[in-house]
Amino acid sequence: MADLQILAPGVWRPLARAHERRVDDLTCGHRERAAGGRAHPVEDFLFTYYSHRPRLLRRWPPGAGTALIEAPEHTGWKFYRSYDGAVSLDARAFLDARGSTVRFVRSLLASTAERPPSLGCFGLHEWAMVYRAQDIRHEAWPLRLGQDGTDEVVERHTVRCSHYDAFRFFTDDARPRNTLAPSRATQVADEQPGCLHAGMDLYKWAYKLTPALPSELVADCFELARDVRTLDMRASPYDLRELGYLPVPIETPEGKAEYVRQQRAFTDRGQALRARLISACDALLTSSAALPA
């Protein structure tokens, strides 16, 4: 216990309640729509493409290196154990089960963080996903420029998507137009910090390391993903004005400038979160907080 920060209930319970309120505010729209069986082309992505459920995001793990006094509700959590009157993450058990994930995430994030951001993609990945498409993913929503106009935008731009999990959804006709050929095998070598999807994926890497990460860090990554997703779809070919999303028309010089302005701000936020995640991975990998067997 000497290496652990020990929190009394008067300290950790208010932190847990504040986290729950924050997550409730961030997810209330999705939860209400889900209860009514209503789909949403922007926010549903955060709970369909990403597999972390709101109830899990709402949980408050303090992260590795912190022990909680009077926390019986935590004792049933995976990788948590009681020791000497407190409950904390069993870092040794977590690393035994997920050490390879921690090392991969650390490698990917560090490699990404070291690269200069590329800010010239203009969100064309979403356009490439519907280029000459027979089936449109968000078929309930019209294309702002129609199919012919959408195809023309793709054809008169250079598509340079570096993110495999975006590239793999390109239509067959769009893939050869990409200047890169990202793959799962080259992911660590390809990803760069200006990519919106790499920024959103910080949330994925954070929740994959739950409950070893502080919940505040996971929630910060979720909030970035939520904000980035909004720009992602405002700059997409879909017309979502009925939902209150004004377009960022990347087919125009003004739209490109606005996209890059927001992309640069998201890059800065993402790099700060990336550094926090890398530090958390390093602390976990070198942790002396694992409780005695």
pLDDT number for residue 231: 98
* Mean model confidence pLDDT for the chain: 94
What is the Cα–Cα distance from 205 to 218, expressed in whole angstroms? Answer: 9
pLDDT number for residue 290: 41
193 is a domain residue: yes
292 is a domain residue: no
SS3 for the chain, per residue? CCCCEEECHHHHHHHHHHHHHHHHHHHHHHHHHHHCCCCCCCCCHHHHCCCCCHHHHHCCCCCCCEEEECCHHHCCCCCEEEECCEEEECHHHHHHHHHHHHHHHHHHHHHHHHCCCCCCCCCHHHHHCCCCCCCCCCCCCCECCHHHHHHHHHHCCCECCCCHHHHCCCCCCCHHHECCCCCCCCHHHHCCCCCHHHHHHHHHHHHHCCCCCCHHHHHHHHHHHHHHHHHHHHCCCECCHHHCCCCCCCCCHHHHHHHHHHHHHHHHHHHHHHHHHHHHHHHHHCCCCCCCC
pLDDT number for residue 139: 76
291 is a domain residue: no
Digit-coded pLDDT (tens) for 24-53: 999 999 999 989 999 899 999 999 999 999
pLDDT number for residue 83: 84
Show the domain range for 207.
5-285
Digit-coded pLDDT (tens) for 130-177: 999 987 777 789 999 999 999 999 999 999 999 999 999 999 999 999
pLDDT number for residue 122: 97
167 is a domain residue: yes
For residues 78-104, give the mean pLDDT: 93
221 is a domain residue: yes
Give whole-number Cα distances, 34 to 38, 56, 245, in Å: 6, 16, 20
Digit-coded pLDDT (tens) for 275-293: 999 999 999 998 744 444 4
62 is a domain residue: yes
Residues 289/4, Cβ–Cβ less than 8 Å: yes
Give whole-number Cα distances, 265 to 56, 227, 231, 233, in Å: 28, 11, 12, 17
Q: How many structural domains does the chain have?
A: 1
How many C-beta atoms surround the C-beta of residue 6 within 10 A?
16
91 is a domain residue: yes
293 is a domain residue: no
User: Which of 64, 125, 48, 53 is closest to 98 using CA atoms?
Assistant: 64
pLDDT number for residue 94: 95
Digit-coded pLDDT (tens) for 123-142: 999 999 999 998 777 778 99
Digit-coded pLDDT (tens) for 7-19: 999 999 999 999 9
